[in-house]
Amino acid sequence: MNEAQISPYPDKSQVTQALLDSLNVEQGRVENRKNLDDLGGVEKLCAMIGVDGNVGLTHDQVVVQRSKFGDNTFPESPMASYFELLLGTLSDTTLLILIAAAAVSLVIGVLSHPDDGWIEGTAIFIAVFLVSNISAGNDYTKQLQFLALEASSAKDERTSVLRAGSIERVNPKDLVVGDVLVLQAGDAIPADSILFSKDFVLSNESSLTGEPDDLKKTAAKDCFLLSSCLVTEGEECRALVIGIGMHS
């Protein structure tokens, strides 16, 4: 959820990002519920978006919502550069000792044996150079492999969404504001959403809040489902997506 606390609605006549953010304040269940009730409840929000909870968005509406609010994607985590990894490797205590020993050996060698006294110190410097670059290269390659594995895993993810009256399995990144999620036990919640079906859901939010116990979610009370949390109990419960990507 969003860290910034946003109180009054900028405009209750249309769905804006600011309005959605006011329903999605981090650690603000009570305030979020009050703001939702003041708006007129999830039914009013659905009407403002133009979505029927029993049908979901049409495919044309999905295109419009995506152009207005964006995709359910996040910017990639910055990857450490090769130079940063090399500097990290060179900060190793053993290599620092070797560098100091090489410098001392080089100075003493050149002073005592001008012709070939540089050989031993230079050999140590070359060894340090090779070891540090090989280590940095390995770390950089591992980063690339991890990012590729992460991208492959994300590509295979699927979530159930109700669109044009049919339940579809889509990649979470294709969700838009106003989509109707269909959740059941074992599902990861792919976006911040509001539960509106009559059934209750148990959600584990330990990954975000540290709360070890499953939390009961109902449409009448705590109806807010948080992205990346796990549904531990529930059967085809429906929720309205209100926060995607960087706004979740």
pLDDT of residue 9: 42
Token pair of 159 as six digits: 């979530």
Tell which wins on pLDDT, 28 or 19.
Answer: 19
Place of tokens 């889509």: 170
| Per-residue pLDDT tens digits for 194-243 | 999 878 889 888 877 777 888 889 888 889 999 989 998 888 889 999 99
2 forms beta bridges with 25
pLDDT of residue 210: 76
pLDDT at residue 11 greater than cutoff 60? no
pLDDT of residue 12: 56
Give the separation between CA 70 and CA 167, rounded to whole angstroms: 22
Give the separation between CA 77 and CA 91, rounded to whole angstroms: 24
Residues 6+ away with beta carbon under 8 Å from 133:
86
Mean pLDDT across 119-134: 92
Per-residue CA distances from 172 to 175, 177, 203, 227, 241 (Å): 6, 12, 18, 10, 11
pLDDT confidence of 192, banded at 50, 70, 90? very high
Residues 6+ away with beta carbon under 8 Å from 240:
42, 45, 46, 49, 51, 53, 178, 179, 180, 181, 193, 194, 196
